[in-house]
Chains A and B, each alone.
Chain A
Amino acid sequence: MPVFPVPDFMPALPEMFLGVAALALLLLGVHQGDRAAREIAWLSVGALVVDMALVLAPLASHGPAREVSFYGMFVTDGFGGYAKLLVLAGSALSLVIALSYNDRQGLARPEFATLVLLGTVGMLLMISANDLISLYLGLELQSLALYVLASFARDSERSTEAGLKYFVLGALASGMLLYGASMVYGFAGTTNFDVMGKLFANGGTVPVGLVIGIVFIAVGLAFKCSAVPFHMWTPDVYEGAPTPITAFFSIAPKTAAIVLFVRVMVGPFGGLVAEWRQIIWFISAASMILGSFAAINQRSVKRLMAYSSIGHAGYALIGLAAGNAAGVRGVLVYMAIYVVMNAGTFAFILSMRRDGHMIEEIADLAGLSRTRPGLALAVGIFMFSMAGIPPMAGFFAKVYVFLAAIDTGLPSLYVLAVIGVLSSVVGAYYYLRIVKLMYFDEPAPAFDRPAGRELQAVLVLTAFVVLFFFVYPGFIVDGADAAAAALFAG
């Protein structure tokens, strides 16, 4: 019998595969240089797709069974599986829509794709974290890749500034998270989520130090999913980073961070829901309100999308504030639809090009319905969807979280739902403003074409999903249902 038992590696197969793939592609990139950037990007997309199959295979063969390995550090369950699929799909879409932009802007370098892959490995680890240590490891692996990506356009002042800002604030948030983790460890005597879950299962009297620890962990996580009041970095980083990176930021890491938020709050601290619900309540309400009001006066599309993503984090967190299985399902449905909407919208932003230059002003969209009717139609669908107008997918995303909030029967969550719907009306204003520019105003000079085949493919695909989601909602919701149930069964 070995002194040091070898853990079962199989549950971590997707993470290991992706890590190895990233390193192999890095080697290939070093060997081949910049001319192989496009091939490496496509290979990375391939790796992500294979990884989706690796995540899906165990889910399909023996259900969303919960498995803990690596000495309790690492958990695979239906909840994680669903979230991983979302993150992998988001990363793959971000890589695809980045291709033509990178070629034109001279950013076609092989490390782009490998950094995205490494960041994705970090996200998968975050999602599967079952211990404060593995949580931190995953989070940092993700963040380090993202810091570099934010300043990927090394010759651009704005991009390097964005990277530095993100790094400084991100490091601060990581520090707070670590401090919170140490407090929790001090009062719980363990870093393992399962043990903590059992320890706090009955609630009872909670030491103040533990609450402080939870607060600091929540601060760190709120920073990562850009929720108010830790959102300040978002508009600057979103605006400064190269647009495909912004797309990536708003899709994959955001999903991973919100999923991690759910895992940490519902898992180890599930018994203390009464303690942390008010924190989430405030974060959610503040994000929705700020996200809708601050976006009104934005002139840059990327800043607008930053505030929009802050608002969406607020809506998704309503589900977490509900703290029940319906709420978690709401979060997962919300994030799934959000990934699709955002991928589509950024595919559009990446095709905004005039006279060979990228344009980012909202005013440049004027009269798009005359010059590019197909493009305008797709953007119109995304905007109505983000505003939550039926029958677009975004409406159902909101309905699922509101359903969960009302289901709790708590007055505080009724209030949160009312704040949610009212700020969605404010939010509708700025989404409609884009529709107004495209459809009601006189045309500005037309965009360059072609925008790139893969961009068009992503646009058509995402617009189709968003528009026809209502016909068969089961394909997103059934999975989320099982995933949420898996989290609460464990």
Chain B
Amino acid sequence: MTSHILSLVTFLPLAGVVAILCLRGADADVARNARWIALYVSLADLAVAIGVWALFDPSRGDFQMVEEARWLPGFNIAYRVGIDGLSVFFVLLSSFLTPICIVSAWTAVQNRVREYMIAFLVLETMMVGTFCALDLFMFYMFFEGTLIPMFLIIGIWGGSRRVYSAFKFFLYTLLGSVLMLLALIAVYYTTGSSDIRVALDFAFPPAMQIWLWLAFFASFAVKMPMWPVHTWLPDAHVEAPTAGSVILAGVLLKMGGYGFIRFSLPMFPLASETLTPFVFTLSVVAIIYTSLVALAQDDMKKVIAYSSVAHMGIVTTGIFTVTSEGLQGAMIQMLSHGVVSAALFLVVGVVYDRLHTHEIARFGGLANNMPKYAAVFMFFMLASIGLPGTSGFVGEFLSLIGAFQVNTWVAFLATTGMILSACYMLYLYRRIIFGVFVHDDARAMLDLSPREVAIFAPVIVVALWMGIYPASFLRPIQPSVANLIEHVQASERAHAALLAAATQR
């Protein structure tokens, strides 16, 4: 029996879009109804996603809940969806963050509410679809499809330089992705199918692997983003509305890391092995350089944006160690970053909603008038640094253990990133929360409203859960990671045997 639960979780938000499009009446009524519809639909989608998690068999390393249907005629390109341990939590993460985004924009977004809600629901479909896709072309369609709603979200509801940022975001990521499209086509013709499962088991010739790897890398490195193609991220974050930043940091960046784990590593193991030093170099540079850059920022969102680049550097390090610890650490680090950095942008959003600025110098001394806020901010700040007991610790620690097994220098340099992250986050926290009041309007700000508490509460629970009992997240990931490592090592062995045979002859 095939279950259609993955199609449901992917396309359910579109039902909300249709409902919102049908709304008629006065602007205020339409806005209110659109908010409620979007919230209910995204909560329903979260419920379905939790159902997916419940039905997911954590002992299996292969794809589950697979659905297939005929799609593009003339080619072996079909509608195929399925999830394994590597994707199940990303589905959950996407559907977890969407309702939070919708609630966070409840009062902040007052113009064009209907379009805003539609954009987020479409974005949710695209994100969930990306992680569920089991067909290369479907993956690409969803992966690229996220650009349209995000472009509109930044451009319509963004800050003063929104147009520049929206274009930069769109064109940067598009440029990376179109090269991947050609690589996808090449993969399709080499394997005769666009089924990801077929491509994963296919042994590509070594010379071809390098080219394909580079084409995929162009896309994922921009999306991730890795140094030196990260420059779109600070711009996009600063100009995007709060909820846009949340989704951008929470989910869209993870598509790059997911792509590395899903495609680059298992499909092109030999190229990955050859180019690992290259990735390590970029990752270490990213960790140290962007951490230092983060120290020098005077905009709250920019600090968090640069810290994202540094954290993603730890993720790529973990992935390309191809060790069990490194890969699991990278997965947890991505999930943790998805929750924690998303929450940090919400934290910024709280004061932005009150003062309409995220310039650090405009704040100071908030511990006095916003104690609840200070506590929440402190929690997420510490989680971002990777304090034991929070989710950030598990991810970074496992990734660094993995790196240590492969290359001690990489591990050493990456660890400095943790120290630097403590520097810039504590420095940020000091400037915002402690000290004395400089501005009267900052003094007059009210503490968190019940709505805002309701936003942060589930995020705190999840971050603590991942930090204190990571096993419930690691257990479903482990079989898939083990499969992946086994596959990579087998193809390396096969290649080595081939080389040995060739030299003997």
Contacts and interface: CB of A to CB of B under 8 A. Distances in A.
Interface of A: 326, 329, 369, 384, 389-391, 395-396, 399, 402-403, 406-407, 409, 414, 417-418, 421-422, 424-425, 428-429, 432, 435-436, 439-440, 470, 473-474, 477-478, 481
Interface stretch (B41-49, B149-157, B473-481): B149-157
Contacts of B202: none
B188 interface: yes
27 contacts: A326-B74, A369-B115, A389-B147, A389-B174, A390-B144, A391-B141, A395-B144, A399-B181, A402-B182, A403-B185, A406-B185, A414-B182, A418-B179, A421-B178, A425-B178, A428-B170, A429-B171, A436-B155, A436-B163, A436-B167, A440-B156, A440-B163, A470-B141, A473-B73, A474-B73, A477-B73, A478-B74
B115 to A, nearest CB: 8
Contacts of B142: 390
B109 to A, nearest CB: 15
Contacts of A395: 141, 144
Contacts of A473: 71-73
A270 B441 CA distance: 77
Given A390-B140, A391-B141, A473-B72, A422 B178 contact: yes
B345 interface: no
A435 B175 CA distance: 19
Q: Pick from A414, A418, A421, A474 the residue with the most CB of B within 10 Å.
A: A421
Contacts of A384: 148
Nearest to B157: A440
Contacts of A439: 152, 155-156
Grouping DSSP codes into helix (H, G, I), strand (E, B) and loop, the B interface class, with mixed when no group exceeds half, is helix
A41 to B, nearest CB: 34
Contacts, number: 86
Contacts of A424: 178
Given A390-B141, A406-B186, A473-B73, 12 more contacts: A391-B141, A395-B144, A403-B188, A418-B182, A421-B181, A422-B175, A432-B167, A436-B166, A439-B152, A439-B156, A473-B72, A478-B74
Interface residues of B, number: 34
B74 A329 contact: yes
Interface in B44-87: 71-75
Contacts of A406: 182, 185-186, 189
A466 to B, nearest CB: 13
B162 interface: yes
B145 interface: yes
Q: Pick from B71, B115, B148 the residue with the most CB of A within 10 Å.
A: B148
B232 interface: no
A481 B73 contact: yes
Q: 5 nearest interchain CB pairs?
A: A421-B178, A390-B141, A406-B185, A440-B155, A474-B73
Nearest to B114: A373
A478 B167 contact: no
Interface of B: 71-75, 115, 137, 140-142, 144-145, 147-148, 151-152, 155-156, 162-163, 166-167, 170-171, 174-175, 178-179, 181-182, 185-186, 188-189
A224 B202 CA distance: 45
A418 to B, nearest CB: 7
Given A428-B174, A440-B156, A470-B141, A402 B181 contact: yes
Given A389-B147, A391-B145, A425-B174, A440 B182 contact: no
Given A406-B185, A429-B167, A440-B166, A477 B156 contact: no
Given A421-B182, A425-B174, A477 B74 contact: yes
Contact of A389 (B148, B152, B155): B148
A412 to B, nearest CB: 14
Nearest to A406: B185
Contacts of B170: 428, 432
A425 B73 contact: no
A228 B179 CA distance: 24
A326 B115 CA distance: 40
Given A432-B151, A478-B73, A481-B73, A417 B182 contact: yes
Contacts of B166: 436, 440
Contacts of B186: 406
A425 B181 contact: no
Contacts of A326: 74
A473 B75 CA distance: 12
B152 A403 contact: no
Given A329-B74, A403-B185, A403-B188, A425 B137 contact: no
Contacts of B72: 396, 473, 477
Contacts of B74: 326, 329, 477-478, 481
Contacts of A440: 155-156, 162-163, 166
